Structure 1
C-alpha cells in the first residue's frame, strides 16, 4: 500500500555511499571514543540523511547492516562488504521461515 510518504524509487547509489560513509566514520570514532558516543553520532548522521524517512531504516547496533524499505522492495546493505541486494518482503519471509 502506497502511503504517499515512502519513496517508490530508492536512490541506490546515493544511499550506498551515505551508509558506507556512516559506517566508516563510526569505525574511526571507535578508535578514540566510547561505543555509545560513536553510535549517537552515527544515529544523528542517519537522521540527517533520511529525515522523516528514518522510520523506514533498520540497522544493527554496529551500523554495518541496513534494511531500507520502500513501497515495492527492500534494500539490504552490508557496509563493510559494500554488498547490496534489492528484494521483497515475501522473499525475506520465505528465507526466514524456510531456514528454521
Structure 2
C-alpha cells in the first residue's frame, strides 16, 4: 500500500514537471506547420499539376492529412505518410479524369 502511494506521488510530480518544464521547446503554431508543408518539394510538384490542384485545395480527405498539429508534424516528418497523400491525390485525379 505504501509503495503504491509513493508511485502515485512520483507519477503526479513527474507529470507536473513534464507540463511545466521551462526547457521544453514550444510547439510551432498550426499555421506555420501548414506553410512548411506547402513549401516542401513534393507538395510543390503536386501543386504545379493542374489536375491535382483542385483536389489539394478542396478534398476533405486531403485536408484530413494535416487537420491538426499532430497530423501536420507527421506529414512533414514521415515519408510514408507523404506517399500516402501523394497516392491519394493521384488516385482521385485519375477517377475524376474518367
Task: Note whether the superposition's TM-score is higher than 0.5.
Answer: no
TM-score, structure 2 length as denominator? 0.26
Question: Which is greater in Rg?
Answer: 2
Higher helix fraction (1 or 2) = 2
TM-score, structure 1 length as denominator? 0.25
